[in-house]
Structure 1
Amino acid sequence: MQKNLRSDAVGIVSQAIAAVNPYACIQRSVQRKGDILHIGSRSYDISLYTNIYVVAFGKASTSMSAALEDILGEKISEGYAITKYGFAGSLNKIIVMEAGHPIPDDNGVLAAKKIRDFLERTGPKDLIFFLISGGGSALMTLPRKGIALTDIINLTDKLLRVGATIDEINTVRKHLSAVKGGGLAKIAYPSESVSLILSDVVGDSLDVIASGPTVPDRSTFDDFQEIVLRYGLQLSSAVQGLLEDGLEGVIEDTPKLEGPMFEKCYNYLVGNNLLALEEATKKANELGYNTLLLTSSLAGEAKEVAKVIASIAKEERANAVPLPLPVCILAGGEPTVTIRGRGKGGRCQELALSFAIEVEGLENMLLLAAATDGNDGPTDAAGAFADGDTVDKGQDVQMEARVMLQHNNSYQFFKETEDLFITGPTGTNVMDIYVLLVQGDT
């Protein structure tokens, strides 16, 4: 693996991640002049509110909260932030709590209850800032009446194992939760609120990010049932009973567009994968590559997506198409992994290993697949590097790439070949970035 390609790829990804630093995203999006805040198309005179509160949840909640503390200072009356274990930081006026991700845990339930009880005390002269980022759906979990946390954990685990999309997972979560799918806006009403949102989903759909707690929900109990049937999921008796009650109209569906609570809730997107890719493009151009930003909406099975990226690498090496060499092809998104083995890995590592198999023997090229939050699946790696020598490197350390891929054990493979990409928690989360570098013969 050529060192200059690896260092170039790291530089490109690093600049991309820096562009979506949550602190910087909030600072860019919230402009204060005296007591007037300018956010997108709205302005707020903070002197008119009795209290200003902050509620943050997601992997980027600590950094987003720190930025808002610096903007509002003593104007903040009280606040809470829920983040993933290991992602916490020190804040002045906002209490930080840690919880489980991607599988919710008791700490997430306790934190959600605390936030619910807190919001129920707010009134029409209060202003609430919701700071929402990827991971928020798992981190703030408040089951509907009659649903246990274990019901949600078991069903979430099943959905992850069958390769369900984040949209599908969140559709189910919304209907098992009292705070998702517009539920948080309902609890906060009649207070006025502003949701500042860092997107971690393909297409930036606000009702999907963190399961859309402050926006009208488009999904229904019918959608929930369709997902269950599509994957042949076995439900607990409690979840089956709730689904049947929902289908029959015995219990209310999630809040829809006509709800009055949404008239007082402003949702504003502060950063996304495309912003990161645009900065990556600038860096790649500076390094002398002819650069193509392919898409920020990459989706599908990671192993299949890898084949598409590999085909582009082969075309570039053979014919310098679609761009003359040296070239940088950039893509972002969030592929899925269907878990069939008992190994360890994440979607970026799985994609990288599949790519390595497809390009075995191909020279002068490199792929870096990286999760922008620094955690690819349940591992300490952000992703992995792969090139035409990767399969041979595995054999040198008694690692057969195809067998390891079959067992979803990409982490162990790349650990042995020393090709893991490790950044530690980045404090942000805007899905994944894929950097393909191809150069001519030297």
Structure 2
Amino acid sequence: MTNDMRNDAYAIMSEAISAVDPSSCVYRTVRMEDGNILINDTLYELSKYENIYCIAFGKAATAMSRAIEDILGDSLTRGIAVTKYGFGSPLHKMEIYESGHPIPDANSVAAGQTIYDLLETTGPGDLIFFLISGGGSAQVTHPRKGVSLTDIVKLTDTLIRAGATIDELNTVRKHLCSIKGGGLARMAYPSDSVSLILSDVVGDPLDVVASGPTVPDRSTFSDFREIVDRYSIALSPAVAGLIEDGLEGMIEETPKAGDVVFEKTSPHLIGSNALALNEARSKASELGYNTMLLSSSIVGESKEVAKVLAAIAREERLREDPLPLPACILAGGETTVTMKGNGLGGRCQEMALSFGMEVAGLKGVLLLAVGTDGNDGTTDSAGAFADGETIRRGKDMKMDARRELYINNSHYYLRETGDLIVTGPTGTNVMDIYMILVDRF
């Protein structure tokens, strides 16, 4: 039964990820008609432009770029694509950069400088396609004057380890980097620009995806100060000085709604976690499961969210509530992990191990928790399964699940119990998928 459930879960997951394949999302949104480009209901007459450029960044940059290259053909003048190490592949006309994630590195800065230099040459006769997906905040960095890469790395790492949300991380990133928080729109102006955005954040706010480089920014230097105070973070002199200068108006804020730089921009959301979950629901129904979609907006500490999901699974197992069996309960979002140890893992693996502890001994129950990008935390796994036997399997190998979870070492435990899910890079990134399957006895 467990193997059959795992096969079903994997099939449902695969269908969900296919629905948000970046190339497919681009093709659904952009098409060429009579030498012009139609994006949703907006027509761009290519003959009026001297040059057409494409700048892509994020975990889905390569796949999105490949689709744009195919659609534009010889109309594309030049392009730059930046993605995570191991996620790149050759393109026809666009330069490829690979850089760090979730912590930026020297390649992130080099890519940011290359983008800045290109946009310095563009003008009102040009059209620029921005292809934006999750991960772009780290992969492209153009530090504000006086701030070093070391400053950015140290602060980003500290916030991640403290359990900061993606919204909090991006508020900080927007004010450390001149590309983020509408900065790219500022650089591109007065060229026309189109942003095709694949969301990896809860609720799909466009100013949060990859730190919102082409849309108005709602965050301020005051928000930056509040976040670092909340987590009691010691700042480098350069970052502390940046915040103070920003609060005093000596440094330009990120561009806000109504700024002239947004008059020639057009953002389009082309893929999201909700789209993936809807496809998962259809596949689960096709396989014979009674299906429910809880939410695409799950947040919180990963191991605590797991307890809620386990409670739902237990209710389903014991009382067939809220669905008759067999049942598939779907959710999505992006949880966080507060680091207390130096183990290896990720938010989906922590969720799986915590879930396994809560449902220990329960039969016919399975959790799948995966990152849609195929990469959970700092590991090569997409996530993990957990069932009522996960903890027993660990005990048979003399492992202590509670200890491994406490030191954030879920990867080691789940590897030994055979519960890891390895997909390799999927080319997309729309947060995480959580799936509970409950079968009949």
TM category, shorter: over 0.9
Aligned counterparts, 1:320-335, within 5 A: 320-335=320-335
Match of 2:16 in 1: 16
Equivalent runs, 1:70-89 vs 2, <5 Å: 70-89=70-89
SS at match of 1:87: coil
Q: Secondary structure at the match of 1:241?
A: helix
Give how far 1:42 is off: 1.4
Structure-1 separation of matches of 2:354 and 2:32: 48
Q: Secondary structure at the match of 1:203?
A: coil
In the alignment, the residues of structure 1 paired with residue 332 and residue 119 of structure 2 have an alpha-carbon distance, to the nearest angstrom, of 36
- Give the corresponding residue for 2:280: 280
Letter matched to residue 421 of structure 2? F
> What per-residue deviation string (whole Å, max 9, x for no partner) do you get for residues 32-52 of structure 1?
112222112311111211100
Q: How many residues align?
A: 441
The answer on 1:116 being equivalent to 2:116 is: yes
Distance 1:393 1:152 in 2: 42
Question: Deviation of residue 186 (structure 1)?
Answer: 0.4
Equivalent position amino acid for 1:250 in 2: M
Q: CA RMSD in A?
A: 0.7
Q: How is 1:37-436 mapped onto 2 (pairs within 5 angstroms)? A: 37-436=37-436
Cα deviation, residue 423, structure 1: 0.1
Deviation readout 1:162-186 (Å, 9 max, x if unpaired): 1000000000000001100000110
**Could you give the per-residue CA deviations for residues 198-236 of structure 1, whole angstroms, max 9, x where no partner exists?**
000001000000000000100001100110111111110
Question: SS of the counterpart of 2:26?
Answer: helix
Name the aligned partner's letter for residue 9 of structure 2. A
Give the deviation of 1:159 after TM superposition: 0.5
**CA distance, structure 1, for counterparts of residue 20 and residue 62 of structure 2:** 14
* Alpha-carbon distance in structure 2 between the residues aligned to 1:84 and 1:9: 27
Write the distance in 1 (CA, Å) between the matches of 2:97 and 2:399: 40
Q: How far apart are the structure 2 equivalents of 1:399 and 1:265?
A: 55
* Structure 1: 5+ residue stretches without partners: none
What SS does structure 1 have at the residue aligned with 2:77?
Answer: strand
Quick one: distance in 1 between partners of 2:357 and 2:132? 38
Give the residue type in structure 2 aligned to 1:408.
N
The one-letter code sitting in structure 2 at the alignment partner of 1:375 is N
SS in 1 for 2:361: coil
Q: Counterparts of 2:271 and 2:434 in 1: how far apart (Å)? A: 18
TM-score, normalising length from structure 2? 0.99
Q: Secondary structure at the match of 1:311?
A: helix
Distance, in Å, in 1 between the alignment partners of 2:343 and 2:265 is 44
- The one-character-per-residue Cα deviations of 1:241-295 (angstroms, maximum 9, x if unpaired) are 0001111111111111121110100000010000000100011001000000111
Q: Distance in 2 between the 1:298 and 1:391 partners?
A: 25
Corresponding residue SS for 1:384:
strand
Q: Distance in 2 between matches of 1:399 and 1:272?
A: 38
Partner letter of residue 434 of structure 1?
Y
Aligned residue for 2:263, secondary structure, equals helix
CA drift of 1:439 comes to 1.3
SS of the equivalent of 1:398 reads: coil
Looking at structure 2, the residues matched to 409 and 397 of structure 1 have their Cα atoms a distance apart, in angstroms, of: 16
CA distance in 1, matches of 2:35, 2:151: 46
Counterpart of 1:202 in 2: which secondary structure?
A: coil
**Counterparts of 2:239 and 2:296, CA distance in 1:** 35
CA distance, structure 2, for counterparts of residue 425 and residue 215 of structure 1: 28
Q: Report the secondary structure of 2:196's partner residue.
A: strand
Structure 2 gaps, min length 5: none
Match of 1:259, as an amino acid?
A: D
- For the residue of structure 1 that corresponds to 2:203, the secondary structure is helix
Select between 395-404 and 294-303 the one with higher mean Cα deviation: 395-404
Q: For 1:153, what is the secondary structure of its paired residue?
A: helix
Which has the higher mean CA deviation after the structures are superposed, 273-282 or 247-256? 247-256
2:238 maps to amino acid: A
CA displacement 1:48-67 (0-9 Å, x = unmatched) = 11100000000000000000
Instruction: Give CA-to-partner distance per residue, 1:84-114, whole Å, 9 cap, x none.
Output: 0000111101111100000000001001101
Q: Tell me how far apart the structure 2 counterparts of residues 265 and 42 of structure 1 sit (CA, whole Å).
A: 12
Separation in 2, partners of 1:100, 1:398: 36
2:327 alignment partner AA:
V
SS at match of 2:193: strand
Deviations 1:306-350 (A, max 9, x none): 011000000001110011111000000000000011100000000
Whichever residue aligns with residue 85 of structure 2, its letter is Y
Distance in 1 between residues matched to 2:301 and 2:154, nearest whole Å = 22
Query: 1:440 deviation in Å?
Result: 1.9
CA distance in 2, matches of 1:233, 1:369: 31
